[in-house]
Amino acid sequence: MSLWTADEIAQATGGKVVGDFAALGVSIDTRSIETGDLFVALAGVRDGHEFVAPALAKGATGSLVSQAVDGPHVLVEDTFKALEKLGEAARVRAPQVRRGAVTGSVGKTSVTQAVRAGLMLAGKAHSSVKSYNNHIGVPLTLARMPRDTERAVFEIGMNHADEITPLSRFVRPHVVAITTVGAVHVENFPDGEIGVARAKAEIFDGIEPDGVAILNADNAWFDLLADAARKAGAKVLSFGAGEACDARLIDFQPQADHAVVQARMHGQALDFPILQKGFHWGPNSMAVLLMLEALDVSLSDSLAALGSFEPLEGRGAEKTIHLAGGAFTLIDESYNANPISMIAAFKSLGARKTLGRRIVALTDMLELGEAGPQYHAGLAEALAQAGIDQVFCAGPLMKSLWDALPPTRRGGYAESAAELAPQVTRAVEPGDLVMVKGSNGSKAGAVTAALAALDVRSGKAG
């Protein structure tokens, strides 16, 4: 069954069909296009119309364009607005879909993907891929939703106020979860963290009547968020460590290759294993269980999904890197970083057993505003409490942490991740536990790649 026919695309977007076709998917990027896709020519650094011919050559069956092109297409006035309309049409034509949406300062991608795993066990499911959570990614994800979908989950992100409201109104979620609120993107909010909280609360602007809001009771902004949810007509369910929580985390015990979660769900005792070993996955798993329950997924399917959900690349994925004299463990946290996730990652690393040293390679946390240097310097205490042996730092903001570290904990400093990488690769030894963490924009992945390339079994080194 096709996802969209040319006539359906034209009807949804107000466009004109030129050459009949049917699409199995929707793509905005020729690098990842698949056979049968509709290619949407968006304006970007380069005009998407330049890529229509390559898209067709790679297997696209047609394109959505705002100027005359060769090949089958639907002609519209504005391709971005047309993509939005296509997303809305996908939602409207599938009223049976029970929709969920996830936002939060940290953890939203991992929670979204864990929820997706549960939805897939329960029936025909659809979800965001990667971090498709912005003004393009959300309507694109909707436009890709098959008409026979039963349940769907969407990730919704923001950098500024007034960004979540329109995205929530696209999705019209029945269930929303806010993982937590903290000092992330605060440079874009003159009123600081409370501004971030209010921006996250915008997710209730699109919630369906009698919707469900799943909120972190351990977060300082719980009351603000709960009030906003109730004003929108939503029922509030809470997760956290408190006795009154609907999903209460009792204990989280990291093991060598998994962790054991002890919890109470609506008073029912639960003990279950998960493959995630970071302490933040204690509350994350509570949020996932509540969200899956609200999306009509059985507890058995929910626990099975959590038990098999593996850490994502850049968000806790682990690799064993073999050196000539033995192996070390590489923990890849290179995709994102902020004060909340940094401290949680240090705590998790400190709890791990290792024959060698606990080493971290850190790059700048971005979008923290004028307080950025203080946030970075403040990590020194958490590193000490976690018993981290060596700290490598890269970037102008991480210089503040480097200066705050005692000489015994200093591994090395460089102005950039690329310059730091050789220092870290020279330092690691068999038995070490090595974590790389930083904002994606500060190129922490360069350090991860350099460490992975040390593996003598990969053929990349020798």
Give the pLDDT confidence of 35-65 residue by residue, as tens digits. Answer: 999 999 998 878 999 999 999 999 999 999 9
Q: In angstroms, what CA-CA distances link 407 with 27, 237, 387, 402, 458?
A: 51, 47, 14, 9, 35
What is the spatial distance between Cα 380 and Cα 409, in angstroms, rounded to a whole number? 10
Task: State which H helix or E strand residue 413 sits in.
Answer: strand 410-414
Interval 116-163: pLDDT, tens: 999 999 999 999 887 788 999 999 999 999 999 999 999 999 878 899
Task: State which H helix or E strand residue 363 sits in.
Answer: strand 358-363
The number of angstroms, rounded, from the C-alpha of 284 to the middle of its chain's C-alpha atoms is 12
Note the helical H segments in 234-298. 281-294
Interval 153-200: pLDDT, tens: 999 998 788 999 999 999 999 999 999 997 666 666 667 788 889 999
Q: In angstroms, what CA-CA distances link 312 with 114, 130, 332?
A: 10, 9, 9
* 459 — pLDDT class (breaks 50, 70, 90): low
pLDDT of residue 462: 34
Can you tell me the mean pLDDT for 76-97? Answer: 97
Domain ranges of the chain: 4-77, 94-308, 317-452
CATH homologous superfamily for 4-77?
A: MurE/MurF, N-terminal domain (3.40.1390.10)
3.40.1190.10, 1.10.260.40, 1.10.10.10, 3.40.50.11540: CATH of 94-308: 3.40.1190.10
Q: Which residue has the higher pLDDT, 159 or 413?
A: 413
Per-residue pLDDT at 320 exceeds 80:
yes
Contact between residue 427 and residue 412 where contact means Cβ atoms under 8 Å apart: yes
CATH class of 317-452: alpha beta
Per-residue pLDDT at 424 exceeds 90:
yes
- Across the chain, what does the average pLDDT equal? 93
Per-residue pLDDT at 310 exceeds 90:
no
Q: In angstroms, what CA-CA distances link 174 with 27, 47, 169, 171, 283?
A: 26, 36, 11, 9, 21
